[in-house]
Every structure is written in C-alpha cells, then in structure tokens.
Structure 1
Amino acid sequence: MGKIQLMSTSLANQIAAGEVVVRPASCVKELVENSLDAGAKRISVTLTEGGIAGILVQDDGVGMDEADAQLAFARHASSKVYEERDLTRIRTLGFRGEALASIAAVARVTLTTRQAGADAALEIKVAGGEMAPIRHVGAAVGTSIEVRDLFYNTPARLKYLRSVQTEQAKSVEIVQRAALSRPDVAFSCQTEHHVLFQTPGNGDMRTVLASLYGVGEAKQLLAVTGETNDYVVKGYIGRPTQGRASRSHAHLFVNGRPVRNIAVHQAVIRGYKNRLMVGKQPMYAIYIEMDPSLIDVNVHPHKEEVRFSEEGDVTRFVAEAIAAALDETLLAPTPVSPRVQARSEVQPLAIDWSQAKTVDKGGQRTQESVTARPAVQRTTPFKPQSGVELQDKAKYASGTAREADVAYAPTQNESRQDIAAAEQAVTAEQTPSASAPDAPQARKANWQLRPIGQALGMYVLADDGETLYIIDQHAAHERILFEQFYTRLTTRTVYAMPLLAPITLTLTPSVFERTMSQQAALSELGLTFEHFGGYDVVVRTVPDIWEGLDMDKLVHETFEQLPAQMQSADFHQLMHDVIATRACKAAVKANWHLSEEELAALCHALTALDDPFHCPHGRPIFLQFTDKHLEKEFRRIV
C-alpha cells in the first residue's frame, strides 16, 4: 500500500481553516464582511469572553433561502465569483467561499436567516463540519450567525490564543475598521455586560472618527480630496501634532475594503514632508476608489493586503493629495492689520540682562542684579549659513578650486557681519519672483514679528500685535538653515566640493551596478566618482552642503539607498535626512545668548519660511497665544 492517501473531509477542512480562522477576530471579520455584502444597514456584534466562548453577528440584510443556506457551509461555494474573469473585477468583500466552511470546521455554528416575504426563518446548526437538519423558527428579516466554542476540536490551536482582553480588543478593532469603511451602516459591538463601540450609520465619516478617537481629536482632522481619471482619494488626516507612536491609527481603504499597503503608508508620510516628529506615525483614514482591474485583492490569505498594478502612480497621487491638504490648511499666519505694520517699524525691543533692577525688601528699595541662566559665548556669530563660506561658486562648479580654498573654514577668526543684511539675503533667495507669485507666500509676506527678548536661555519671545509667540530658538534656526540648504538643492545651486583625500569604497555587486548606472544623475548634484577596478569606486567631489559631516558614511549610505531607476527627486529624498542633520548641527543651541540684532534677524527670517511651524525633525517651532486667550486667562473677559 502506498504512503500517499486522501485526507478525510473533516481533516481537510480543519487544515484549510488554519489559513482563514486564526483567532476570534478572524471570525468577526468574515461574518461582518458577509453582512455588508448582503446589503445590511445595521450590524450588531456580541462577544462572549472576548469571542473565545461565543460570537454573535446579526444583520438586517437580504437573508437566504433554504438552498443558499445549505450551500453556504460548503467549501468553495460563493455567490460573488462565477468564472475566472470575475477575479479581475472583484467589488465585494467576501468572495472565496471558504469563510463559513472554515469556521464551521473548528467551532459550533448556528445560522438563522430569513428573506423578506418568507413565512418563517431557517435555522441550521453545524458542529465540526457536520450539519444538522434544518428547522423553521421565528426571526426578523436578515441573518444572524452564532459561533460558539471556537477551536473546541483543535485544542493545540486553542492554547495559543491570548487573554480574553487581548482577543476582545482585536475583535473590536475589526468592527471599528468596518465602521470606518462604511459610515452609512450602523455598527454596534458589545459584550454580555456593556456596549464597547457603536456608530449611528448616518453616513458622516467624521462621526465615526469621533466615536473612535473622541470629539476633540476628530475636530482637528483635516479633509483630503483628490481625483484623476483613474483614481479618487478622499478621507481625513491628523495634524502633525496628532502623530502617534504606532500605526494603529492609520487606516487605508481601497474600494471599501480595509487593507494594508506599506507603499501607500510611506506615501502618506512623504506627504507630511518633515512636519512629523521623528518616530511618530500619522493618523489617517484614507479611501482610494479605482477600477477593480487595477488591483489584486487575492494576494493574502486574510484578504488584508492588496497589490496595485501601477503602484508608483497611486503612491505619488496619495502623497500629493496629503501635501496639498497640509499646505492649504496648516496654521497659515493671518496677514497683519495696519496697526501691526505701523508697530513693526519701531526698533526691536531687547532686554539687557546685566541691567540692575529695583526690588522692595522690608520697605527699603535696594538694587539687585538680575540672576539669569548663564549664557554660552560663541566664537561665531549667528547667521544664516554656517561653516564654509563659498567665496567663488564658479570655482566649485568648474572643479578648479584650490585645495586651500576647500580646506579653509572661517569659523574661528572671521569678523562679525551685519546679521540683518545676511538674513535679508537669505529671504531674497527664498522669496518667489513677482512673475511667479505663490498664494501662501503672499499671505506670509505681511507677517512680521517684533522680538521682545530671550527667556530661560532657549526661547525667544515675540509678538505681531495680535498674538504672543514663544519660539524655540534652536528649532527656528534649524528650520531656517534647512530651507536654505534644501532650496539650493531643489534649484540646482549645489556645487561640487573637491575632496583633499578622495574616498575609495568597495561595493557589493548589486550596489555597484545601481551606482554606476546613476553616475550622471549624481554628478549633476555634486557627487562625482569613477570606477577604480573590480567593485571599487573612488569619490572625487561631494555636494558642498555636506561640508562638516562624515563624508565616508554619507557617501556609503547614499550608494546603499539608491533605487534601481533614480531621478533627481529620488536623490532629493535621500538627501533630506542629511540636510536636516547638517542644519541641526549648525543651528544655535540652548543657552546661547542672542543680541538684539540677532533676535530681529531670527524673527525676520522665520516669517519668510515656507514652513515656519516645524523643524526638519517635526518638532514645533513656536507656541502662540492670542490676545483673546490671554485676556480670558487674566479674567479680563468672561
């Protein structure tokens, strides 16, 4: 007798169930999807002991007749896919025809269903894949499915379930995602003791988000919309300050199906640009509508992932929609009133920390010096560009710079320049020309800050006549330097800086091939190198904005991260973190004393930035307090 034998139907069903039913949440997902496909407008989920002991899903959908109710428990039986070409245009959630058969193979299932116009409902009980005779009972129109004693006949899988609280949380998350995908359906999820989650089903997405995160969080969310001939993107995203430590608040829906896709998630992050703090994940609920033939929803056993036929187009469109929503809505400064402009002409005020103050001690007025946090004295002045001052850009562009010019870094003995004039030069470089006006820049052009002084050695106080600002001096200067460097990168004014000692690197074969194929593109951005035999390359020049950093490490990391097909935009993305690090190291630090002129220059440069709200690492640059807010706090108004 041969060793190969056919499995019994019961054993085959239990093995197949391992791909579909992993935990109680898997059952909840499959049953809720079936209810949505049945046209339900109200869906109720009841969990007993986190779903381990029992799951009851009730809906008011179309119901089933006797023939369909029996076939629903057969393997590979489906009402949604009839021929092969249907797999390329799937619009329903459940389509494999395995859900009920798999669940019934490892649990005790009771199905009660009734169609409109039927005299009575049908009740079918299945345990371990064995079906009992059909009974007629009384029930409302729709379908209810009760799953009890999950994994009762597979104890090896039962013991790997987590605690009741963990399994319950997983199941509730499934219901919440379903509610987000269909705000027009009323959902409720409860235990035998109390309601865990519910939505009204009024079609308002923000209402569902308020049920998940609270009214306060939902009010802050920003709407996202975008449409092309192939794609429609809509939804809500959180402000940068609403960033989370994990991706649990990131929801993606494609044609109404809750899915995961790491490429789209990365596109959302790119859309935030550098507004998110390092280590934070965005909060969002994004909906993508597209032709079903452009996606494959059958690539994951649990149907939780999808594959796009044109992934690059989808991710680019999502990133642009996210960026547009943030650029248009994110805390744009209000143009100042005429009285504020008049005040801005006054010389900036400054606090002389060494000046004595008068205090009253025991009825006698005495002089006492001010005690302040010690200030760190710098050897270089605060200015827009730190490090090597490139005296002759043409020399670097032509590659004829002398080694002495490259090695010289005037950081110790250079004379103090007019800081205000230097900052005005930066502003002129970043401000769009009159022939190409930019609406957000035009709004910011009238925003003027009047510096008041420093506080606690690290904050700058300023106002614009209507609002008081507390500015983080390091974050503000870091942002100023970042935009200066990044502007040079995007406008192709980065110059090749020859190295005193060329860098020789040994690359892996794959990295070497990618690097050599992108040699011309990298050379345009100041990174020039040549083949040095085998898989070695020798680097002759680097972008001048890398000055002062670890060149060997930066060159190696850049080569390692090169994509197979690179354009300038890809290299700009690779350079982002490098420029942010460069700006952070060059910016003023805490406890650095700034003069009156430097305070004025910092405030002036801040108002001219494209994004004056966040440093390159996503931290906020300032806090603001309006006059109304202060009057309320001081009880001047009720």
Structure 2
Amino acid sequence: MSHIQILAPDVARKISAGEVIERPSSVVKELVENSVDAGSTRIDVELVEGGKAQIRVTDDGVGIAPDDLGKIFLKHATSKIATVEDLEAIVTMGFRGEALASIGAVSMARIVSCARGADRGAEIEVRGGERGRQRYVGAPEGTRVEVKELFYNIPARRKFLKSTPAEMSHISDVLTKLALSHPEVHFVFLHNGREVFNLPSVSCLRDRVVAYYGEELARDLIPISSREQELEVTGFATSPAHHHANARMQFIFLNGRPIRDSGLTHAVNTAYRTLLPQGRFPVVFLLLSIDPSAVDVNVHPTKMEIRFRDASRVYGQVLQAVKKALNQFQPGLAPPSAASGTDSDTEIPRGVDALLKTPRPYATGGMSGVDTSGPLLPRTPAAMPSRAVTGVEHGRFLQLHSAYIVEENPNGINIIDQHALHEAVLYNDIKNTVRERALSSQRLLIPELLELSPTDFFRILGLKDTLKELGLELDEFGRNSVIVRSVPQILKDVNIKELIEGLLEDTKEGEETGDQMLDRIMKVMACKGAVKFGHRLSAQELVALLERRKDNIKFAHCPHGRPTTLFFSLEELSKQFKRTGK
C-alpha cells in the first residue's frame, strides 16, 4: 500500500499561499508593489478592521487589458519576466507571479481594471481559488483590488491573526517603507474610514522624511553619497543624537526595494560604533542602486532577502560612505561621555578599570540592621532620613562620575551602579503592587499629548489594556496621536515621552505571552523611572537608595540581568597595591 500521495490542487494552493501571504500586511505589500510596478502616481490603501475584514488598493497605473485579466489569478502568471535570463536583470518590485494567485486562494477577492486609453474596464472575482466569470464594467483608468475575509477558508490560520492594532502596526510598517522608497508616488492610507496618512508626491527622499517624521529629524539629516563601479550609495545618516534600542529606524532600500540584510546593517552600526552608547542603534535612510545582474532578489517569496555577487565590496563601500558622511558632518566627533549615556549603559569609569579584574557579587555583611521603611529617593527635606549622611551604619560612601556609588564594606568595598540598583528596587516594587492589586495611578493635571508614527501609534494602542492595568492610561487623540492621562503613582516623576518610546522599543508584539508582555512592560517602567546614569544625587538621596537595598538577593541584579554591585575584597586591593603579606 502506497503511503505517498499527490496533494489535491485545493490543498496545494493553500499550502503554497502560506509561503507568500502570512497576514494582512503581506497582502498590502504585494498589492502596493504591483501598483508601483504599474507606474502609478497615486496609490490609495483602505482597510477595515486591520485588513482582516477588507483590504482595498486603488491605483492610477497602466491598468490591465481584458485579455490579460482572466489570467491574473493563475499561479506564475506575470508580465514582468518571460525567460530564465530575465532573472538576471530584475528591475520591478514583483516578478514571481505568485502573489495574486496566493491571495485568491485564501480570500474572497475582486479586481476591477481599465487599461490606459481604453473606453471601458473589466472585472473578475475569485473565491478560495475558484474564479468567477469575467465581465465588462465602466471604470477609471487604473486598477482596484479588493480582498475580503482573509483566511476565511483556513480557520487554523485565521485564528492566529493578531488584534486590529497589532495588524495595523505591521501594515503601517510596510507602507512606511514603500512610501520612503518611492517619494514620487502619492500615498493615501485609510483605516475604518479614518485617514492614517496622506503623503503627496515629492521630488526627493528628504522631502518625504520631512512629511512623515517632521522637521526635527530632518534638521539632523546628513547626506550620504558614494559611487564605485556599478554600485551607488545615497541617502541620509543622522546625527548621533538620534538613536534607539533596536534597528527599527534603519531603512535600507535596494533599487527601490525595501530589504533586510544583516551585513549592511552591521556596516551601518560599525560606522557609528564610537559615536553611540553601547546597545544603541542609529537612524539611517540608505538607498542602494546597483546593476541588477550583481544581486539576486529571488531568494525568498517575500523578496525581502537578497544576495550580492560581491557582498564584501558592498559592505565596505556602505561602511566608508556612512563614515565619510559622519566625518564631514562633524570632523573629530567625540564619543558620548558617561554622563550622556543611556539608562542601560553600565560602562566602568576608566580610572578604576585596572581594579576591576575579578569582580564578584557584592558582600552583604553589615547590612542586615538597616531600616528599609520609607519612600525611595524622597525629594523633600522633611521626608529625608535623619541619620548622618556620612555612612549607612556599617560604613561610608561617595558618588563618582554621577553614576557609581563607592561604599565601604567591613571586608572591602562595593562599587554600585546607581541606575541598575534603583531599577531593581522599582521593578520589585511594581511587581509587588501588581501582585497585590494595589498599584495606584497619578492623574496628570495636564495630560501629555504625544505624536507618533503610524506604526508606533497602532503598536501603543495594542498595549493600551495592559498599560491601564499598570496605572498608565492613554487614549487616541486625533490622527496618529495619543493623550496620556495618568501614570503609575510609583513613577509619578517619569519622563512620559521617554517611557512611551522605551515601551515601543523594548516590547515585542506577537513573540510573548500576556504574562511575558506584562513583565517586559514592568521592566521598561522600572528602567525609565529609575535615577539616570549621569545624574548627581544628593547625600540624602544616596542614603535613601542604599537603605532600600538591604540583604535582598533580588537587588543583586537589575531586571535586565546586569549586576547592581561589584565587591572587591581587602585582599584584592592589597594585591593591586603590592601590599600582599603585610
């Protein structure tokens, strides 16, 4: 009896479609790329319920002739290539002839198109891969594609679609990249009848960046220009003042196509290495133009991954182009000082580097008698501890470089990262109050309005319910804006803009369970609410922070796993000063 079977055409279509169409953003990407290839000057994208209910893309491109419309939902039907040799010179966004067939296999789709110069158009529908009859209709020049009930016939796939804000965040990201790479096209994006963005056509990338991200970022754009043989590298770097915890603001385009390439990302980050704090990523808009024969874009159905014929040369040219731009912007630009580092920066001051060769977790002897009651880092004199500020019962301490606290210990010294310790304390406090359902919020006297990119706007809306559970309440307020009405009482002095940016950078939608997401948000809140690296503490604040530590292993590391304190024994100190044996 044979165990190997040939799959039925319907099953094969659905499996194949899953390689190209993963979620609504995949549909939007494929349809808009087709519109770009059609020479459109305007593309309208209209969505209902994050694209799960309906996606409509309308363009004013060359249109599709009635004779071709009947083939449009057939697999590997394309007007962009005809022979194997054509794969060596791909200049269009699409070419595989898989997208519309895949979309039609997992949705209810309809196309209405009128070829340029024709007196009438034609319409065809498809439902789960089954094509309906084609008919002539009146229509303006261009093409309109409607996709309804995505994955209606694959319940296992449909149930894994995310919330509407989450899907909208992915779609906004796709459209952002396409709008940046094609500034000559007018993009209009609507969701549930409301405008998300309206970007008229402009003559250059800089104007599109201004329209999308505003003048503040545009003022710090640094032109990039390099041409060697068949490769031209242009675009913009930005000043080191603009950086993020991940590479989400690094846009790389190849021949007008948004791409992902770890080598090019590494080249960009290497160019900025001495200019940014560790773990931070710059903002760049990079346009690469290369002979199509020197690159393979037929690596994956999504066409986001590519292979260069000479990857090392491309890497080197991109690295040098970005470095040159940064040097011309500000020759001899010095790396950030410790005081300008980020919250997560734990670089050790150079003066004690030789001492820190074999650090160990801090020693807790002598701390058990410390009173830990009272608020952390009180700000008013009346709330300050009354004890002398020269020590905490067992010894003395001082602050160095507005970042570290050196504390005498009966058996040596502790060197404490003030931000990491305060972050650990806040995280523990937030967890306890959430567990006890005792987390109170502080209503803002003047609510804070934040303008976000469309991608970030929908991402933060996706976190709205979880944030409310933690005492941070926000609502939509106009197009791509949110208004923050309250913050957790424990973080009443936090910089709200920094907190929201931290949440956007550190949370990973779709990769974590509800409890994992809640924990990650608590970590971000603790980090953004903690005293900053580079902030000078008063003597009273130092006392308050050290009092909260006590003999608690929970405070040995911050929530991100970095040690809060390093201990050096008297024996180690004696060895460093050649006093061994005395």
Same fold (TM over 0.5): yes
After superposition, where does 1:438-457 map in structure 2 within 5 Å?
Answer: none
Pairwise mapping of residues 600-619 of structure 1 onto structure 2 (< 5 A)?
A: none
Cα distance change of structure 1 residues 128 and 313 upon mapping to structure 2, 3 Å threshold: same
1:324 counterpart SS class = helix
- Supply the distance in 2 between the matched residues of 1:305 and 1:121 (Cα, whole angstroms): 36
Cα deviation for residue 264 of structure 1 reads 0.4
Matches within 5 A, 1:34-113: 34-113=34-113
**Aligned residues, how many?**
348
In 2, the alpha carbon distance for the partners of 1:207 and 1:19 equals 35
Shift of 1:93: 0.8
CA distance in 1, matches of 2:56, 2:354: 68
Q: In the alignment, does 2:290 pair up with 1:290?
A: yes
Q: In structure 2, do the counterparts of structure 1 residues 383 and 296 end up closer, same or farther at CA, with 3 Å as the change threshold?
A: closer
Residues 1:168 and 1:590: Cα distance change in structure 2 (over 3 Å): closer
In structure 2, list runs of 5 or more residues that go unmatched: 334-348, 356-398, 403-534, 538-582
The answer (yes or no) to whether the contact 2:108–2:126 under 8 Å persists in 1 is yes
CA distance 1:211–1:169, shift in 2 (3 Å): farther
Q: Note if contact 1:113-1:123 (Cα within 8 Å) is conserved in structure 2.
A: yes
CA–CA separation in structure 2 for the residues paired with 1:314 and 1:86: 23
In structure 2, the residue matched to 1:234 is 234
**SS of alignment partner, residue 172 of structure 2:** helix
Show CA shifts across 1:58-82 (max 9, x none): 0000001112111111011111121
* Partner in structure 2 of residue 180 of structure 1: 180
Match of 2:144 in 1: 144
User: 2: CA distance between counterparts of 1:300 and 1:133?
Assistant: 33
Determine the C-alpha separation between the residues in 2 that align with 1:266 and 1:197: 31
SS in 2 for 1:123: strand
CA distance in 1, matches of 2:85, 2:201: 34
Residue 136 of structure 1: how far off its partner (Å)? 1.9
Counterpart of 1:79, as a letter, is S
Match of 2:22 in 1: 22
Greater shift in the superposed pair: 198-207 or 262-271: 198-207
Query: Take 1:218 and 1:132, find their aligned partners in 2: how far apart are those partners?
Result: 49
Q: Tell me if structure 1 keeps the 8 A contact 2:237–2:326.
A: no
Does the residue aligned with 1:67 lie in a helix, a strand or coil?
A: helix
Q: Quick one: distance in 1 between partners of 2:400 and 2:80?
A: 67
Query: Residue in 1 aligned with 2:265?
Result: 265
Match of 2:215 in 1: 215
Structure 1 residues 580-591: aligned runs within 5 Å: none
- 2:178, 2:536 → 1: CA distance? 48
Q: Which protein has greater RCO, CA pairs closer than 8 Å, 6+ apart?
A: 2
Q: Which residue of 2 aligns with 1:159?
A: 159
Contact residue 109 and residue 145 of structure 2 kept, 8 A: yes
Deviation for aligned residue 1:590: 8.8
Q: Which has the greater radius of gyration?
A: 1
Do the aligned partners of 1:240 and 1:277 also contact (CA within 8 Å) in 2? no
Please give the alpha-carbon distance, in whole angstroms, between the structure 1 residues aligned to 2:2 and 2:67.
39
* Partner Cα separation in structure 1 for residue 282 and residue 188 of structure 2: 27
Structure 2 distance, partners of 1:328, 1:238, is 12
After superposition, give the CA deviation of every residue in 1:307-365 in whole Å (9 maximum; x if it has no partner): 111111001100101011110112779xxxxxxxxxxxxxxxxxxxxxxxxxxxxxxxx
Cα gap change, 1:45/1:386 in structure 2, threshold over 3 Å: closer, same or farther?
closer
Could you tell me whether the CA contact under 8 Å between 1:198 and 1:211 is conserved in 2? no
Instruction: Tell me which residue corresponds to 2:243.
Output: 243
CA distance in 2, matches of 1:322, 1:165: 35
- Say if 1:107 and 1:458 are closer, same or farther in 2 by CA, change over 3 A: same
- 1:247 is paired with a residue of what secondary structure? coil
Counterpart CA distance in 2 for 1:172 and 1:458 is 42
Which residue does 1:510 correspond to in 2?
Answer: none
Listed as ranges, the matches of 1:328-347 within 5 Å are 328-330=328-330
Contact 1:108–1:127 (Cα < 8 Å) also in 2: yes
Per the TM alignment, residue 6 of structure 1 is displaced from its structure 2 partner at its CA by 2.8
Cα 1:325–1:141, aligned 2, differ >3 Å: closer, same or farther?
A: same
- The 2-side partners of 1:179 and 1:25 are apart by 14
The 8 Å contact of residues 123 and 135 in structure 1, kept in 2 or not, is answered as yes
Once the two structures are TM-superposed, the CA of residue 105 in structure 1 deviates from its matched residue by 0.2
Which amino acid is 1:328 matched to?
A: Q
Partners of 1:217 and 1:130 in 2: how far apart? 49
- CA distance in 2: counterparts of 1:33 and 1:19, whole angstroms: 17
2:281 match: secondary structure: coil
Following superposition, the deviation at residue 458 of structure 1 comes to 5.0
Q: Which amino acid aligns with 1:159?
A: K
TM-score (norm 2): 0.57
Matches within 5 A, 1:490-569: none
Equivalent residue number for residue 327 of structure 2: 327
> What secondary structure is seen at the aligned counterpart in 2 of 1:241?
coil
Aligned-partner residue type, residue 60 of structure 1 = D
2:66–2:121 contact (8 Å) kept in structure 1 = no
Letter in 2 for 1:323: K
Match of 2:306 in 1: 306
Provide the C-alpha distance between the structure 2 equivalents of 1:171 and 1:590, rounded to a whole number of angstroms: 44
| SS of alignment partner, residue 111 of structure 1 | strand
1:369-407 alpha-carbon deviations (Å, 9 max, x no partner): xxxxxxxxxxxxx9999979xxxxxxxxxxxxxxxxxxx
Amino acid at match of 1:217: L
Q: What amino acid is aligned across from residue 45 of structure 2 in structure 1?
A: V
Asked whether the 8 Å contact 1:189–1:196 carries over to 2, the reply is: yes
Measure, in 2, the Cα distance between the counterparts of 1:383 and 1:249.
32
Q: State the 1:8 CA deviation.
A: 2.4
Contact residue 240 and residue 282 of structure 1 kept, 8 A: yes
The Cα of 1:210 is off from its aligned counterpart by: 2.3
1:138–1:312 distance in 2 versus 1, CA, 3 Å: same
